[in-house]
Amino acid sequence: MAGRQRQSTGGTTDRDRRIRAEEPDGKGGFTQSKPQHTYQRDLTVRIKVQSDTELPILELLTTIPFLAGGLVVFRQLEKNEYEVTLTEEKGEKKPILHGFQVGDVEVTVTDLCVNEAMVSFMKLPAYITDGEILNKLKLWGVTPTTQIRRRMWLGTNVADGTRFVKVKFDGVVKSLPYLAKFSTAQCIQFFRVLHDRQFKSCRLCKEQGHYSRECNGELSKCQVCRNKHSDCICQSSDDSDIENDNVNDVIVAQPACNQNVSDEEEGEDLEGLPSQKMVSSSLKKKINIKQWCEMSFTDKEIEFAIVGLNNNKSPGQDGLTAEFYKEFMNFFIPMLSTLFQSMVQRQTIPEFFAKAC
């Protein structure tokens, strides 16, 4: 009896341990108490499952601790995207920072404390090379930190077109455009570009909250006509809204390749996207005088153009109608008049114009 009394007062019984390990849950029951953890930002990563179908969460809950140690928080952000916090005692995020696989499914990881993001180029044609993607990233001012990988259909080795790469944001660039332009077998096309923490940003002044066509800074003005780039009549400067590529490449894209995406949703790279409904606004902005000065036509080309217009087709392979070219001329002539008046007022001819002509 005395032995049992000493055990109950001085010792710790299994029942005592169970009582201290349980806490009221506010509903008349008890929940199992757990040791206190510290939740550190530098032990938190964001993971994304590169699959159109959801991966069972239990698979991730068992794979991550096996690779990276203890797991203390697993927070779902949206479909196939999660925020994971590792324990201070056992957690080590380095083994998973370059991504991992669960079965045949690729899982990418982004460190929240490093200025990096996983960038996805959605549903690209297979023949577009990784070099073309790397050139885009270089043009945008970011540095890839991993190899470009292709996303596969679940359970197969068949690519679905999407490619992804982790990039580091260097300097003032904090976000990438929502669209990237690539030359496909049919025409010039725009493809979605997605990454974490993507937002509207100006590619002229690098500030957030507006696009380059809305910029009021000095860099937003053409150095020749002094109009904003969106209203430029001479097109002497690079067209940043279409990534400094050749303007004609966009204008002659086949109408079948037009993509119906809203300007508000996709951002500045949509400006200049070809559409016969946008002829009036596009021609005002996209005519390049230097190219027109360098143009020459043969008799055969003129004859071919007339035949094409009579058949209500483009003289080339762009599929545009005769009405398009008639409206084109309606804008081209007033534009020359405006340019001439500008040169008279300034009493000089722009250097690039003089060299071209």
pLDDT, tens digit (0-9, with 9 covering 90-100), for 9-61: 445 454 444 444 455 566 666 555 555 667 777 788 888 888 877 888 888 88
pLDDT, tens digit (0-9, with 9 covering 90-100), for 174-201: 788 888 889 888 888 889 888 877 766 6
pTM summary value: 0.42
pLDDT of residue 238: 41
Residues linked to residue 76 through DSSP beta bridges, in sequence order: 82
In this structure, are residues 309 and 321 in contact, taking their beta carbons and an 8 Å threshold?
no
Give 315 or 157, the one with higher predicted confidence: 157
pLDDT of residue 329: 63
pLDDT, tens digit (0-9, with 9 covering 90-100), for 108-150: 888 776 677 889 999 999 999 999 999 999 888 888 988 999 9
Q: How far apart are CA 149 and CA 162, in angstroms?
A: 9
Task: Give Cβ neighbours of residue 261 (< 8 Å, ≥ 6 apart).
Answer: 179, 190, 270
Sign of the dihedral through C-alpha 155, 159, 162, 163: positive
- 259 — alpha (psi -120 to 50), left (phi > 0) or beta? beta
* 265 CB neighbour count, 10 Å cutoff: 9
Tally the residues of the chain. Answer: 357
Model confidence at 74: pLDDT above 80: yes
In this structure, are residues 234 and 151 in contact, taking their beta carbons and an 8 Å threshold?
no
pLDDT of residue 248: 31
pLDDT of residue 99: 84
Mean pLDDT (the chain, rounded): 67
Secondary structure class of 137 (helix, strand, coil) = helix
